[in-house]
Amino acid sequence: MAVPIILIVALVAGILSIAMAMYFRYLVLKEDPGNERMQEVAGYIEEGAKRYLKVQYKILGIFVVVLAVAMLFLPSPLDDSDTYTRLFSDALNWEQMLAYIIGAVGSMFAGWLGMYVGVKANTRAAQGCTVSTKKGFDIAFFGGAVMGLAVVGVALIGVSILYWIVPDPMIVLGFSFGASSVALFMKCGGGIFTKTADVGADLVGKAEYNLPEDDPRNPATIADNVGDNVGDIAGMGSDLFDSYVASIIAAMMLAATLPMFVDLVLDFDAYARFVYTIFPIVLCGVGLLASLLGIWYIKWKGSDEPGKALNTGTYVATILFAGLAALLTLVMVIGLTGEEATMLWKLCICAVIGLLAGIILGLTSDYFTRDDKKPTRKVAEAAQEGHAVVILSGISYGLLSVAPPTIGIVVAMVFAYLLGGVFGIAMAAVGMLAIVGTIVSNDAYGPIVDNARAIAEQGDLGDDIIRTADRLDSAGNTAKAITKGFAIGAANLTVFALLFSFTTEANDIKPFTIEAIDLLNINVLIGAFIGVVIPALFSALLILAVQRNAAKMVDEIRRQFETNPKILTGEEPADFGKTIDIATKGSLRELIIPSIISITIPVAVGIVFGVAALAAFLTGAILSGFVFAIFMSNSGGSFDNAKKWIEDGNLGGKGTEVHKASITGDTVGDPFKDTAGPSINTLLVVMSLTASIFLGFLMLFGNGAGLLTF
Amino acid sequence: MAVPIILIVALVAGILSIAMAMYFRYLVLKEDPGNERMQEVAGYIEEGAKRYLKVQYKILGIFVVVLAVAMLFLPSPLDDSDTYTRLFSDALNWEQMLAYIIGAVGSMFAGWLGMYVGVKANTRAAQGCTVSTKKGFDIAFFGGAVMGLAVVGVALIGVSILYWIVPDPMIVLGFSFGASSVALFMKCGGGIFTKTADVGADLVGKAEYNLPEDDPRNPATIADNVGDNVGDIAGMGSDLFDSYVASIIAAMMLAATLPMFVDLVLDFDAYARFVYTIFPIVLCGVGLLASLLGIWYIKWKGSDEPGKALNTGTYVATILFAGLAALLTLVMVIGLTGEEATMLWKLCICAVIGLLAGIILGLTSDYFTRDDKKPTRKVAEAAQEGHAVVILSGISYGLLSVAPPTIGIVVAMVFAYLLGGVFGIAMAAVGMLAIVGTIVSNDAYGPIVDNARAIAEQGDLGDDIIRTADRLDSAGNTAKAITKGFAIGAANLTVFALLFSFTTEANDIKPFTIEAIDLLNINVLIGAFIGVVIPALFSALLILAVQRNAAKMVDEIRRQFETNPKILTGEEPADFGKTIDIATKGSLRELIIPSIISITIPVAVGIVFGVAALAAFLTGAILSGFVFAIFMSNSGGSFDNAKKWIEDGNLGGKGTEVHKASITGDTVGDPFKDTAGPSINTLLVVMSLTASIFLGFLMLFGNGAGLLTF
């Protein structure tokens, strides 16, 4: 059979990716880590990040074990019970559970590797800036690429080996659920950590004691830098790991049950179905190759314009992906009938459409958050009229910014659906995420240069070097806006695909069938109602968590300044460990309620109102989650850049009332864009996967119709 | 036939209501309007309000005529064309159009009457405070009751006479659409007007020139007072007029097509169906009687505790409604079979459940916005940590506050559905709005005492009198929080009912049928997606409108102070006309895009994606609209009361940094709670009715399946 050989493409790409990550790690580590003071600061950051990861992984371990045990005893339709049978899957509970654990451990490993290199790269990038912009850029870029390559490599190796051993999509579902559990903790926890430190440092250090950004006397400075790593490197990495795997599994599950779509031709034979099932994996393999070549292109070409270099990498990867995907399809149609081959070509086009849509979404986010475009300019100008007006302005443009990506997603969905039905939409999600290696690399570059700038400042490298680091940092911010829009769009399409695969899975259980998620059915309507409310509730809980923790941080910073006046004079170092502890413990404690919500509410809705209502619940949550995620990310980004634009000397510049108002905007935007907004993606994926995993359990209640049947 | 006689109950209640309104008007007008200065200020307010209404009604007239002409030429399924036939309706286009115009004119008349008395009552209430708290309360309460009674009276007289003449629910639909068109303009326009003036006055007068609230030297003071009348009296009145009529028509349309529900018994005869059809109208009649008695009870009993008096009126009306509804049902079951009678009793219980749910929703809003409860107390405390933290806190609690009313609505829906299917849910909406006379009266009391306080200040009545007026004002604020939660809940249930009636109407057109609003259908999913985004977009446009207008207002106030320094010294009066003009023209100009959106987007969705997608669009908009409406109203209310609590001397009191931060919160909350939040209700009703009115037109596109059929 030609197929397993083709599957090697994914495996090889994954292994290449890890090899390249190791090579980049070597390139980073061999660089000069700078002077003693820089190494000291970097050491604090590294130690803080490691301490956080250690505590986080310990709790995560307990969570994973508990869920794994639960999965073992779940009356899953996987176990071929007498009542229900499943057409496509004969995987066993323990197999799925093992895959779950492997997914969780894989995601943790990728996160650990990325962060380990990230905290080594920052001081080296700062030192590199003393040589040239290019040198600094290279080191930071290589450091970020380690994260990107590790994430995608581990994910692809995991998925392809697992499927090779047990060719059953339900196994890959377990792997995906494992990755999601980790992502939920890493993203929410990291988001709370980073903003606790950031807001705390700003409120006391900057506002009360007039210390500049990144001043070493501020006890929360190191925690703030640690936060960039745990939130923006490890958190974002695990988030995209999660979406990536979820998009693959959603497409695989749809492919496995392909004959069930009324919208598609019904006479695929077993071989064709197998080809469609592994197509998403292999396509991601060539996507990863495209990413590798894109990253290599940046390395080879180099650039004195960091922002342009990052974008060039993305465009190169996109074009290569389209070419390689066509080549792959050309090979994979061998052995298929004409009709089946046409279908595969259509699916390939869906993937390319998805990727193009992702880039358009990224550019939209970029437009709404760039300081040289109208929205952010207006937000900055609103700061002239005080704190309240800047807030109203940022919130309004954030809400407005939901419209263009909605149009983008809708158009992509329409085209993908026309070509391949709901499976086409799932393939668009896969395509959007195919070059995620590039996306994560660009994203992880951001916090490294952010940290590098801080280390340059604390290591007294002088104004010239700091300005160079600033240029690198600003390129990171632009890249980040694009990747964020991309990530939200990809997660959105992915959860749509998961929704379709969930209903397909439900319909696959005989004798049960959902048939329709009919909003005229009152259970379904109530499900949708509750779903729409969840992202609002979830955002509120995360923002309140940041606020509560930041208040504790503020108290601690004040306490340190008051009990030891020598900290302020710079004679004695601040107690960084204490502030890092507060951020660590606080963020983990505040995780409890959101993580319970994400697992229990979908299950509760399924138990009470039934499986169709649960599908509507997911739909409602996906749609309103999209609105909240885009709104919060873009308004937060706009606030941030409006502030920076004013700090560049516009509208009076630093220290003016206008600047103060813009800081208020930024502080409001911080938990929007770095905690609540991006965590919604993960929430949606976790809830969708929970629904799929617990489906068999839900069958116990009124045969899937729920306890409350009218 | 016993039925027309029973319909007299509604007509008589309506006429009694208008008579009582006229009597209260007399009671208000015969009171002492106070000293010359007070009369002067009241005269300015009256003139400004009238000027606004004049311009508003002129534009509104054009809008109504254009839509009326369009309705005349719409290829409505009403016209018994060859292709489609309708089971229950044989109303003609011109009849529906006439009803539309009558609805619009009726709503305008009620708004005019209420506002006319409102602007007379304010100065008299202020003067009344010099006699006693009770005297001041009575005058303001009577003034507010005129609005409440006029709104409900006109609505009920209109609906019952129209249905008497042409017993066809499609006629009442026209009436409802007329009322909605007016509400859209009055609510959005009024909301923009009032916050333009309020924010403008605060930003320059208070912040830059340190003038106290309501200072006559501030050129925007009068505009601010005018805004209270046009936004909170006329706007809120037309909003509830709109919901009230819409809830009746939704229930009537469902009743008219009753045999089509699979959930209900199928063998109702024509007489029974007629009884169910008029039941909502008559029930509103007894609800109005209950309101009249409640209002009379407050008048008779009197109270030195204004807040308690208002709530007592609500509770009395609620209890009376339950009793009278039972009595009514006892009469109306005459002539029905046992099964039919049981159904009517169940519907009666649904109405009572609805009313109870409304009161619970009101109390929830009250909890989240009261300064002696945890959420608002936390928001106030957050002000100690600066502008940004108070904003984050208010937004978080606002988002959290969506959860309890969701549970309330869901529980009410479940019970109502168990008793009477979707018709039961429609009856719950009717019940929730049955005592709307009381609700509007309590609500209109608020701006009158707010104005009275301003007039007492400007008329130099002394600190004691101002304190008395303050007490009245604070009772008004509490009442307002309750009525707002109530109004949102009622609108929510009403638009659900409209959604059901829309799909029922669509299914009533043969040979077309929606069958299901199936989220697995891609058109439907896209419809829901667009629907969920609309409330966010709409809110953004309204908030930006306020901001743009407020900026113009700020410029004008600065210009007046700079060109004529004698204004600041009090030697010459400010040019109030100019600021009122800016608020008037600005609010009407900014209305254009939101009103176009509310009509064209539903029609566009229907044309492109089909009628089922349009139903999903409405569902999505209803659900996310609920989230945004509750969030914005409650966070706005909480910001406002947190500020007031600090102004009462807590956490340092006036003039401190804490106070300034709380003012920032209040200014952000202002357009949330008084412009965007409450306008969403009206948007939802208008979109739902637009869908129903344009249904015949949408049949032209792919037979109702839309242009984009997959």
Encode pLDDT of A263-285 as tens digits: 444 455 778 888 888 899 999 99
**Percentage of chain A exceeding pLDDT 90:** 52
Burial of A246 (0-12, 13-18, 19+ CB in 10 A): buried
Q: How far apart are CA B426 and CA B380, in angstroms?
A: 39
Q: Is the pLDDT of residue A257 over 90?
A: no
Closest-CA distance of chain B to residue A669, Å: 9
Residue A573: half-sphere exposure toward Cβ, Cα within 13 Å: 12
Q: How far apart are CA A693 and CA A172, in angstroms?
A: 11
Higher pLDDT, B280 or A215: B280
Closest-CA distance of chain A to residue B633, Å: 15
Closest-CA distance of chain A to residue B77, Å: 22
Note the pLDDT of residue A511: 60
Nearest to A519 among B519, B533, B544 (CB): B519
Give kind and range of the element (H or E) at residue A86.
strand A85-86
Note the pLDDT of residue B27: 94
Give kind and range of the element (H or E) at residue B123.
helix B93-129
Closest-CA distance of chain B to residue A482, Å: 21
The strand pairing partners of A86, in sequence order, are A509
- Chain B residue nearest residue A676, CA to CA: B396
**Which among A381, A392, A539 is the top mutation candidate for probing chain B, defined by the most B β-carbons within 10 Å of its own β-carbon?**
A392
Q: Tell me the two tokens of residue A621.
A: 């949550």
Q: Rounded to an integer, what is the distance from CA B510 to the centroid of its chain?
A: 35
Note the pLDDT of residue A267: 52
Nearest to A526 among B382, B410, B516 (CB): B410
The strand pairing partners of B85, in sequence order, are B510
Q: How far apart are CA A295 and CA A298, in angstroms?
A: 5
Torsion (CA) A76, A79, A81, A83 in degrees, nearest 10: 40
The helix/strand/coil state of B283 is helix
- Chain B residue nearest residue A382, CA to CA: B547
Q: Is the pTM of this model over 0.90?
A: yes
Note the pLDDT of residue A270: 74
* B contacts of A383 (beta carbons < 8 Å): none
Closest-CA distance of chain B to residue A473, Å: 25
Closest-CA distance of chain B to residue A455, Å: 28
Nearest to B540 among A396, A541, A661 (CB): A396
Q: Which residues contact A189 (CB under 8 A, 6 or more apart)?
A: A56, A230, A235, A587, A588, A591
* A contacts of B624 (beta carbons < 8 Å): 532, 623-624, 627
Q: How far apart are CA B460 and CA B466, in angstroms?
A: 9
Closest-CA distance of chain A to residue B674, Å: 14
* A contacts of B611 (beta carbons < 8 Å): none
Closest-CA distance of chain B to residue A582, Å: 18
Residue B406 to residue A533, Cβ atoms within 8 A = yes
Tell me which residue has tokens 């899957």: A89
The helix/strand/coil state of A510 is strand
Nearest to B627 among A532, A546, A550 (CB): A532
Q: Is the pLDDT of residue A581 over 80?
A: yes
* A contacts of B528 (beta carbons < 8 Å): 519, 619, 623
Closest-CA distance of chain B to residue A601, Å: 13
**Which among A350, A541, A618, A619 is the top mutation candidate for probing chain B, defined by the most B β-carbons within 10 Å of its own β-carbon?**
A619
Residue B409 to residue A503, Cβ atoms within 8 A = no
* Average pLDDT of span A286-298: 92
Residue A402 to residue B554, Cβ atoms within 8 A = no
Query: Per-block average pLDDT, block size 10, for chain B (710 residues)?
Result: 72 95 94 90 91 91 91 64 52 84 93 89 93 91 93 94 86 91 91 90 79 82 89 86 91 73 50 86 94 89 79 91 95 86 93 92 90 93 92 96 94 93 92 92 90 88 88 82 83 90 77 74 94 97 93 90 87 88 90 89 95 95 96 94 91 91 94 91 92 87 80
Q: Tell me the two tokens of residue A505.
A: 């899975």
Alpha-carbon torsion B691, B697, B701, B704, what sign?
Answer: positive
Instruction: Tabulate helix, strand, coil % of chain B (nearest 5).
Output: 85, 0, 15
Closest-CA distance of chain B to residue A261, Å: 11
Q: How far apart are CA A495 and CA B675, in angstroms?
A: 34
Note the pLDDT of residue A75: 67
- For residue A693, CA distances in Å to A221, B9, B181 come to 42, 57, 48
* Average pLDDT of span A569-598: 89
* Average pLDDT of span A57-74: 89
- Chain A residue nearest residue B406, CA to CA: A530
Domain boundaries, chain A: 2-704
Note the pLDDT of residue B620: 97
* Tens digits of residue pLDDT in A42-60: 899 999 999 999 999 998 9
Query: In which band, very low, low, confident or very high, does the pLDDT at A89 lie, cut at 50, 70 and 90?
Result: low
Using the 8-state DSSP alphabet, how is residue B565 labeled? Answer: T
Cβ atoms of A387 and B664 closer than 8 Å: yes
* B contacts of A616 (beta carbons < 8 Å): 519
**Which among B619, B666, B707 is the top mutation candidate for probing chain A, defined by the most A β-carbons within 10 Å of its own β-carbon?**
B619
Nearest to A616 among B389, B519, B547 (CB): B519
* A contacts of B533 (beta carbons < 8 Å): 402-403, 406, 627
Nearest to B402 among A536, A616, A620 (CB): A536
**Which among B414, B519, B663 is the top mutation candidate for probing chain A, defined by the most A β-carbons within 10 Å of its own β-carbon?**
B519
**Which among A407, A523, A525 is the top mutation candidate for probing chain B, defined by the most B β-carbons within 10 Å of its own β-carbon?**
A525
* Tens digits of residue pLDDT in A357-396: 998 888 899 899 988 899 999 999 999 988 999 999 999 9
Note the pLDDT of residue B204: 82
How long is chain A?
710
- Chain B residue nearest residue A516, CA to CA: B518
The helix/strand/coil state of A215 is coil
Nearest to B429 by CA among B280, B289, B319: B280
Closest-CA distance of chain B to residue A532, Å: 6
Q: Rounded to an integer, what is the distance from CA A263 to the centroid of its chain?
A: 32
* Average pLDDT of span A117-128: 92
- Chain A residue nearest residue B422, CA to CA: A522
**Which among B396, B397, B425 is the top mutation candidate for probing chain A, defined by the most A β-carbons within 10 Å of its own β-carbon?**
B396
* B contacts of A422 (beta carbons < 8 Å): 520, 522
**Which among A384, A503, A520, A539 is the top mutation candidate for probing chain B, defined by the most B β-carbons within 10 Å of its own β-carbon?**
A520
Q: Tell me the two tokens of residue B628.
A: 């945004």
* A contacts of B676 (beta carbons < 8 Å): none
According to the per-residue pLDDT averaged within each range, which of A471-475, A660-664, A699-703, B563-567 is highest? Answer: A660-664
Note the pLDDT of residue B510: 60
* A contacts of B661 (beta carbons < 8 Å): 387
* Tens digits of residue pLDDT in A411-452: 999 999 999 888 999 999 999 999 999 988 998 998 999 889
Closest-CA distance of chain B to residue A26, Å: 43
Q: How far apart are CA A238 and CA A218, in angstroms?
A: 30
Query: In which band, very low, low, confident or very high, does the pLDDT at A79 lie, cut at 50, 70 and 90?
Result: very low
Cβ neighbours, 10 Å, residue A40: 17
- Mark out the alpha helices in B401-521 (DSSP H runs): 403-434, 436-458, 463-508
* B contacts of A409 (beta carbons < 8 Å): 529
* A contacts of B389 (beta carbons < 8 Å): 203, 547, 550, 667
* B contacts of A624 (beta carbons < 8 Å): 532, 623-624, 627
Nearest to B623 among A199, A403, A620 (CB): A620
Residue B518 to residue A518, Cβ atoms within 8 A = yes
Nearest to B543 among A395, A517, A619 (CB): A395
- Chain A residue nearest residue B496, CA to CA: A525
Note the pLDDT of residue B265: 44
Note the pLDDT of residue A265: 44
- Chain A residue nearest residue B501, CA to CA: A520
Output the CA angle A590-A591-A593, nearest 5 degrees: 85
